Structure 1
């Protein structure tokens, strides 16, 4: 479990540092957009009050607390699941990514009332209107990792 907590802590710190840097130091909230590597990568400020792609963002205050509760519930579920059926090292890394990312987005909702999304990728004449953040990447990678590297298989009994 030490590996899980180490990965979760590094993920959380990296996520919060990138958000702090982009929002407060670079002033993206006021600028709206900064070209990083046009046309592929831009920093585009988007306060996400809902879930992915801003879904369910109508009742902001209610949605905020529901999503905090859901994220906390998912983290607790993953921890119980890992206690009952511990995966190998890659599974623990994946779980750490998922937990660190989820907690990072919960912190945003507590501090700002919304998740600070700022990474935007577009290419080849396609203008992607959506933004994401380091926590989103970690959550996605962690979920995929938990699917690919599940708990260790129980030893088979000889007949």
Structure 2
């Protein structure tokens, strides 16, 4: 799309903001500590997905950042699944410590502004460029790393904000 816009001399070219947001969030999910935590949650979710009633655990999809948020959220509802008894049933499923569960809660909290922006974009019948600048500014403020954040969450926020700012050149809008 960017190449086509360049060839057609469409300057500035503003791509789909929802897609841009997804790409930035995906980059944040690749932060080493976050990626490892998601992998451990993913293995537990896969193990239990066959044995739960209607309110099943949710498996994430690598192309949708919000599926990782949904997976963590549902997993935290079933935090009792992380007990040491799991290991006796299946040695390949690693359990999560209290620190891991706290970290998962912090990662999920990091996704709240992204989810809010995605909801706004999805509820608009005809989203226009006029909505991008306010959403981008709001995200930059809400995702600003804090001294109270864990190092991995601070890095995740910075990665997402930096990726968004390089993909959307607000100054050119």
Higher relative contact order (CA 8 A, sep 6+): 1
Taking structure 2 as the reference length, what is the TM-score of the superposition? 0.28
Q: Which has the higher helix share?
A: 2
